[in-house]
Amino acid sequence: MLGIAPQAAFHVSTRGEYGMRLMVDLARHFGEGTVSLHAVATREQLPEAYLEQLVASLRKAGLVHGKRGAGGGYTLARDPREITAGDIVRALEGPIEPQICTAEGEAIVNCVLQPGCATHHVWLAVQKNIATALDGMTLADLVKTHSSTKELTPTGTQPLRSAAQDSRKERSRVRA
């Protein structure tokens, strides 16, 4: 099925992805003064207007500070070692909940199968593992990881190759 991506079971929206990239960029420049959204948008190849929407949620969550006027821009509200990926995802996406019955916070019985649902344990484990992974990574960790992967592209992803390139490479290996 060429050109059709399979549907993801768990998905972070562009709000979460772009917001994470914004925050990592601010962490890279922590202690250097304010950073303009235009500069972030240029470096990260993201739409500046969308970053403006995201930064409002990040400010409301207490993760960034903004300064208006000449020399204005944004800074992290706390040291990058004190802000986790979980803080960012929750600020932009809401609570981590793979299923409605596993929302973070106070337990709410909101399914006719509760209590006694045979699959509830699966969703609780998924929720716990996602939250643990996100809460275990700080912005400082992400900056360190990014700077140690020089072979990656500026956005932190491997360069894409087409199936034809992979096929040609494999054929040349077989001939050798």
CATH number of the domain to which 115 belongs: 1.10.10.10
Cα angle 60-64-70, degrees, rounded to a multiple of 5: 110
Q: Is residue 54 part of a domain?
A: yes
Q: Is residue 75 part of a domain?
A: yes
pLDDT score at 150: 46
Q: Is the pLDDT of residue 136 over 50?
A: yes
Q: Is residue 111 part of a domain?
A: yes
Q: Is the pLDDT of residue 59 over 90?
A: yes
Confidence of residue 174 (pLDDT cuts 50, 70, 90): very low
Q: Is the pLDDT of residue 7 over 60?
A: no
- Quick one: tokens of 41? 């948008």
Q: Is residue 164 part of a domain?
A: no
Q: Give 9 or 78, the one with higher predicted confidence.
A: 78
pLDDT score at 139: 95
Q: Is residue 170 part of a domain?
A: no
Which residue range forms the structural domain that includes residue 52? 14-151
| Residue 74, C-beta contacts closer than 8 angstroms, at least 6 positions apart | 26, 34, 35, 36, 37, 55, 64, 65, 66, 67
Q: Is the pLDDT of residue 171 over 50?
A: no
Q: Is the pLDDT of residue 176 over 80?
A: no
**Once rounded to an integer, what is the mean pLDDT over residues 53-65?**
96
d(Cα 5, Cα 63) in Å, to the nearest integer?
34
Q: Is residue 1 part of a domain?
A: no
Give the number of domains in the chain.
1
Q: Assign residue 94 a region (left: φ > 0; alpha: ψ between -120 and 50; beta: otherwise).
A: left
**Once rounded to an integer, what is the mean pLDDT over residues 63-91?**
93
Whats the size of the chain, residue-wise?
A: 176
Q: Side chain identity at 132, as an amino acid letter?
A: T
Q: Is residue 174 part of a domain?
A: no
Q: Is residue 79 part of a domain?
A: yes
Q: Is the pLDDT of residue 86 over 90?
A: yes
Nearest to 20 by CA among 58, 52, 59: 58
**Once rounded to an integer, what is the mean pLDDT over residues 28-45?**
93
Distances (CA, A) of 146 to 3, 42, 91, 107: 30, 18, 22, 37
By mean pLDDT, which of 12-16, 41-45, 69-73 is the weakest?
A: 69-73
**Once rounded to an integer, what is the mean pLDDT over residues 52-56?**
95
By mean pLDDT, which of 8-12, 23-27, 29-33, 88-92 is the weakest?
A: 8-12
What mean pLDDT, rounded, does the chain reach?
Answer: 79
